[in-house]
Amino acid sequence: MAFSENLQYLRTRDNLTQEQLAERLEVSRQSVSKWEGGQSFPEMDTILRLCDLFSVSLDTLLRGDARAEALADTAGYDRFMDRFAWKISLSIGAILLGAAVMSLLEGLGVPWMLYGGLFFTIVAAAVTVMVASGIQYDNFRKRHPVIPDFYAAEERYAFHDRFVWYIAGSLGAIILGVALCAMAFYFLPEREPYETFVGVGLLLVVTIAVTVMIRAGMTEEKYKIEKYNRTNQRELYPTEGERKRDDRIERSCGVIMVLAAAAYVTMGLTMDLWKTAWWVFPVGFILCGVVHVAFGPREED
């Protein structure tokens, strides 16, 4: 397809009139009409703005077939993002499951060295998978900084309807789990091992609910291809100010996690809290998330 055909297809795909496209590009409607009719050609900076506007590569806009690429996932984006979502959600679920197993073994009187070692083995495996998956994701983004929006509107809307139930159902399951735990002690004595069994049951419910929510949230983000393209352009080709901001965020998170590790070791050595002081690491991750939200890029940027 020629540039004129690609431009006409992309404009109609996004439900834009020639007047609306001209307003976004700050040109006249006649210029857009001439481009689509093959009578003239826009300047290079306008072509680059068209690439950003329609989330297509320069090669696709000028020489490719925008219609064919829009209907096919040539980069394997959908399959990659599905696998990425499963790896991250299951890894976080494995850490929560490890905490439940650790509580159960502790309640059964298993020595700390055994269940503690098992828990940190699970954490090490989960963190390894998350780090490797993150590196794979960055490599994928560098290979495919721009993805044509090939999802049909019906497919996107259908998942969004299910997404609401995934989130609501998971939150409802956690609330129901808390309620059942409270009711359980009406029938069971408030002593060990019953307290451990009830607590482990609640942790299992939370593990499943959190895993489902993370998986659903990442899948919902998968359909926001325009956001994916915009974020890639900002992160892969940052301005000097954006680079400085990202460096500050990374250094802040590094300091937070070093302090968390130091706090854990200190409490373990001085107060023998090796079994219970592990909570400093989730707190550290939460603080890192706060730093990213507080100082990271805004959507309007």
Domain containing residue 267: 238-301
* 28 or 68, higher pLDDT: 28
Say yes or no: 63 and 111 in one domain: no
If asked whether residues 135 and 254 sit together in one domain, one would say: no
pLDDT at position 93 is 92
**Segment 242-279, tens digit of pLDDT:** 778 778 888 888 899 899 889 988 988 888 887 677 77
pLDDT at 171: 93
Contact 9, 56 (CB under 8 A): no
Q: What is the pLDDT of residues 28-53, one digit of tens each?
A: 989 999 898 888 888 888 888 888 88
Radius of gyration of the chain (CA): 26
| 200 and 291 co-located in one domain | no
pLDDT given at position 296: 67
Domain count, the chain: 3
Query: Within 10 A of 31 (CB to CB), how many other CB atoms are there?
Result: 17
Percent of the chain at pLDDT > 90 equals 27
**Residues 105 and 124 placed together within one structural domain of the fold:** yes
Domain endpoint, select from 237, 265, 287: 237
